Structure 1
Amino acid sequence: MKWEKAKVLVLGTFHMFEHEGLNSEKRQTEIQELVSKLAEFQPTKIAVEMIPEDSEFVNEKYKQYKLATYKLEMNEIFQVGFRLGLRMGHEQIYPTDWMGESEMDYSEVESWAKENQPELLNEIYKEFIIPELTDSKSILDYYKELNNPSWLNMLHKMYVNVARIGDFNNYIGMKWLSWWYKRNLIMFANLTRLIDSEEERILFIVGGSHSTIVHKFLEESEICEVIQPLSYLS
């Protein structure tokens, strides 16, 4: 099977439930604008940041949405994924995430570094700025920032350098990072399992912190053509 012609677009997103005011008419119109841009990609499948064990749960909601008996909750999976799926006539949504237990939380790694390696932590965070959604910024423009290659490279650089936290035989950063990369590798592997033909066009809606890593895994695997989100958002 020739998979090199299959196309995958990894869309870095923000978690909408963390923001107020997205139910306003203005913001809902902006979300519809985003969906219209993504529809130009003509995805054959939409994958989302949800574990496969919740497939029945999310697709029951999607079924009810198609029947107009479910009001979309403030979550990017529903607000963007469901709307786009309906528009494209898709029968289902595809969860591809994994959430096993980690040896240490990121907050614990950060706390350890603040106490034991503050200079290294400052170096890792140097010039690291997280884009914010402001009242004057549209949803589409915010997605452009979250999917800008320069921002994503900076994000990837930060995660790689977390591995330096700790010391010989005391790999503090790796206690979290090994879980983080395993999770993203599983997302990558699950995405490849959705490729059934060279005509496949998969859109993966995932938190921006994951997008750069999964994007790189897909590129390095060479099993598909990885599409830059800005080619459709711009």
Structure 2
Amino acid sequence: MTPAESATAKIQVLNVGTFHFGKTSDAHATEFDENAAQNQQRVHELAQKLAAFKPTVICVEKIPSKNDTLNTAYQNFLKNSEYLPTYDGEISMLAFEIGRLAQVDCLYGIDNHMGYNYSVGDFIEASPELENSIDPETYLQLTNAPFKDHPELAARVNRYEQSDLLEQFRLINEPTYLDFLINANADKLLYVGLEDGFEGADNAAIFYQRNMRIFSNLNRVRLKKDDRVLILMGGAHTAFLREFFKRSPKFEMVNTLDYL
């Protein structure tokens, strides 16, 4: 790399969306038995694929104040990594194993917790005494037929629960599916409100704010130009981070599907 290229090089990022392996407060959950031997093997194989990115830094869906606890658990795993621990879902199973394979020293939590009501639109639509005064037609289309313009993707979504782990990850990380996750978690609420109110938009704004804070937490991590950052978070966060990375003068995303 020439000095000029070095001066303009961006930090490489592999931005990976996942479902939550354990219990989750998310609107949608995936049935996944973390203790099944077959699933343990599939996680091993997935970790090998993602470790091929050769990350030097791994960030996960944990708040930064838990970093000490997170890394104590990670170091304990490195001492006895024969069996993937399930107590922290995809973090302890997948992120720890990627870190082990890539010989990453520690992990960083970059999450930020904010409460918001992503069901406010559904509540209004289900309440006869309430009326969505903004655009119920578009809201219901985004709720009931989000993939009507993408029939091939709709077919993959319909067989999602019957797909193996790798195919589920491939689906979650499809650009069109990531766009859907932003709609499902936030943007469809922009079509919801009572009278002249902004009940939907105000809740969507909280979710936007949470993801902007996550991106800010990422920027708190002291990175070098030659670092390679792997981020493993729930798909909706991945979708928002993708939008921030696109415009960033600091980061450059690689194609996640190339590693799946």
TM-score range, shorter chain: 0.7 to 0.9
Distance in 2, Cα, partners of 1:120 & 1:36:
42
Question: Using the alignment, how far apart are the partners of 1:3 and 1:92 within structure 2?
Answer: 27
Matched, 1:72 2:85: yes
In 2 relative to 1, CA 32–166 (structure 1 residues): closer, same or farther, beyond 3 Å?
same
- Structure 2 vs 1, CA of residues 200 and 134 (structure 1 numbering), >3 Å: closer, same or farther? same
1:49 corresponds to: 61
Report how far residue 175 of structure 1 moved. 2.5
1:218 pairs, out of 245, 253, 260, with 245
1:109-154 per-position Cα deviation (integer Å, ceiling 9, x unaligned): 431244323534312224226846534x221111001101121123
Number of aligned residue pairs: 230
Would the aligned equivalents of 2:33 and 2:39 in 1 still touch at CA under 8 Å? yes
Greater relative contact order, per chain length (Cα 8 Å cut-off, separation 6+):
1
Question: Tell me, which stretches of 5 or more residues in structure 1 are unaligned?
Answer: none
Q: Verify the 8 A CA contact 1:73 1:79 in the aligned structure 2.
A: yes
Q: How many Å separate the matches in 2 of 1:4 and 1:170?
A: 46
2:36 alignment partner, one of 24, 34, 42 = 24
The alignment status of 1:119 with 2:137, answered yes or no, reads: yes
TM-score by length of 1: 0.88
Alpha carbons 2:63, 2:109 under 8 Å: kept: yes
Other-structure match for 2:3:
none
* Structure 2 CA distance for aligned equivalents of residues 11 and 57 of structure 1: 23
Larger Rg: 2
Q: 1:167 to 1:3 in 2, by over 3 A?
A: farther
Give the deviation of 1:68 after TM superposition.
1.5
SS at match of 1:33: helix
Paired residue for 2:232? 205
Relative to structure 1, the CA distance from residue 10 to residue 152 in structure 2 (aligned partners, 3 Å threshold; closer, same or farther) is same
Is residue 152 of structure 1 aligned with residue 170 of structure 2? no
CA distance in 2, matches of 1:210, 1:25: 29
Equivalent-residue separation in structure 2 for 1:168 and 1:197 (angstroms): 51
Distance in 2, Cα, partners of 1:2 & 1:126? 48
Q: How does 1:69-108 map to 2 (within 5 A)?
A: 72-73=85-86, 75-102=89-116, 105-108=117-120
Give me the CA root mean square deviation. Answer: 2.4
Offset of residue 194 of structure 1: 2.7
Structure 2 residue corresponding to 1:37, chosen from 24, 30, 49: 49
Name the counterpart of 2:28: none
SS in 1 for 2:85: coil
Report if aligned partners of 1:4, 1:222 keep a CA contact under 8 Å in 2.
no
Give the partner amino acid of 1:33.
E
Measured at CA, do residues 17 and 162 of structure 1 come closer, stay the same or move farther in structure 2, by a change above 3 Å?
Answer: same
Relative to structure 1, the CA distance from residue 195 to residue 3 in structure 2 (aligned partners, 3 Å threshold; closer, same or farther) is farther
Deviation at 1:33, TM superposition (A): 0.9
**Where do 5+ consecutive residues of structure 2 fail to align?**
1-5, 24-30, 148-153
Q: What TM-score results when the alignment is normalised by the length of structure 2?
A: 0.80
